């Protein structure tokens, strides 16, 4: 999120009305306050509980789906979205909705996971069965192509790799749940695994990827800056 906020600071002035798509606990508003940014932030999240937490950050948060945003046309100066798009069932519809609710000339700053994310976990699962345990993240040009198709101009797109380390597979799965990775069908199937399968997964993961810092999980992240013509 930090890189996205730094990027957004270059385009959104004080008083800018911003929609935080997938607002979660209101981290954008919290970070904006700490940075002295005086944006007027609204939030949208599919989780009612998350919206309640976000409201403690003085966000006017609404519970809704990002492919059907309950705001009128040209209501916002910009849209911010941190690691939400990859879980959307219809990302093109999300882009079209963003285009609708942003003013002409408005900027959207988005980050999303792309192909290569969680490849270690995908490989460890592949030795257990043929089920799809990990979400099929799109290739690098997938989301930018959808944005153009929806009507945006892509001002920039950058890829970065983030590696995090976990003490064991259960800690990794709990981490996935905390970022909403269980909201799209097929992303993770922990609840359908037996203790024996979990043990085998742990052994497979350690035998292939064990590191002195723990079990690595690689995140391929794309940051997009879009503009509404």
pLDDT surpassing 80 at residue 178: no
Determine phi and psi for 120, rounding to 5 degrees: -65, -45
Q: Which of 38-42, 56-60, 68-72, 164-168 has the lowest mean pLDDT?
A: 56-60
| Domain tally, the chain | 1
What is the percent of the chain with per-residue pLDDT over 90, rounded to a whole number?
Answer: 69
Higher-pLDDT residue of 98 and 194 is: 98
Question: Please, what's the b/e burial string for 125-138 (b: 16 or more CB within 10 A of its CB; e: otherwise)?
Answer: beeeeeeebbbebb
pLDDT for 57: 86
pLDDT for 43: 96
Q: What are the tens digits of pLDDT across the range 112-161? A: 999 999 999 999 988 887 777 777 788 989 999 999 999 999 999 999 99
Determine phi and psi for 189, rounding to 5 degrees: -125, 35
Higher-pLDDT residue of 16 and 182 is: 16
pLDDT for 187: 47
Task: Enter the tokens of residue 27.
Answer: 């981290």
pLDDT for 75: 97
pLDDT surpassing 60 at residue 189: no
pLDDT band at 192 (very low <50, low <70, confident <90, very high): low
Sheet of 40-45, strands arranged across: 60-63, 40-45, 17-21, 76-82, 102-113, 215-227, 153-166
Using alpha carbons only, give the angle 78, 36, 48 rounded to the nearest 5 degrees: 55
CATH code (residue 75): 3.40.50.150
Range of the domain at 90: 2-227
pLDDT for 183: 43
Q: What are the tens digits of pLDDT across the range 23-63? A: 999 999 988 888 889 999 999 999 999 999 999 988 899 99
CA-to-CA dists, residue 189 to 43, 174, 182, 202, angstroms: 29, 12, 8, 14
Q: 185 in helix, strand or coil? A: coil
């Amino acid at each position: 999120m930090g890189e996205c906020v730094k990027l957004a600071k270059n385009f959104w002035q004080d008083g800018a009305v911003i929609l935080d798509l997938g607002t979660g606990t209101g981290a954008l508003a919290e970070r904006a306050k700490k940075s002295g940014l005086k944006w007027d932030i609204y939030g949208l999240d599919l989780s009612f509980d998350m919206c309640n937490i976000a409201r403690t950050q003085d966000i006017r948060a609404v519970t809704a789906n990002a492919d059907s945003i309950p705001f009128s046309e040209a209501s916002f100066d910009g849209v911010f979205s941190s690691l939400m798009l990859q879980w959307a069932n219809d990302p093109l519809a999300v882009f079209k909705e963003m285009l609708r609710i942003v003013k002409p000339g408005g900027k959207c700053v988005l980050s999303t996971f792309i192909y290569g994310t969680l490849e270690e976990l995908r490989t460890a699962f592949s030795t257990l069965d043929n089920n799809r345990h990990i979400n099929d993240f799109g290739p690098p040009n997938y989301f930018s192509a959808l944005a153009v198709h929806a009507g945006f101009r892509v001002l920039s797109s950058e890829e970065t790799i983030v590696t995090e380390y976990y003490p064991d597979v259960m800690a990794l799965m709990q981490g996935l749940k905390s970022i909403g990775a269980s909201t799209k069908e097929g992303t993770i199937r922990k609840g359908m695994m037996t203790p024996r399968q979990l043990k085998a997964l742990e052994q497979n993961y350690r035998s292939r990827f064990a590191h002195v810092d723990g079990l690595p999980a690689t995140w391929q992240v794309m940051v997009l800056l879009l503009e509404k013509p």
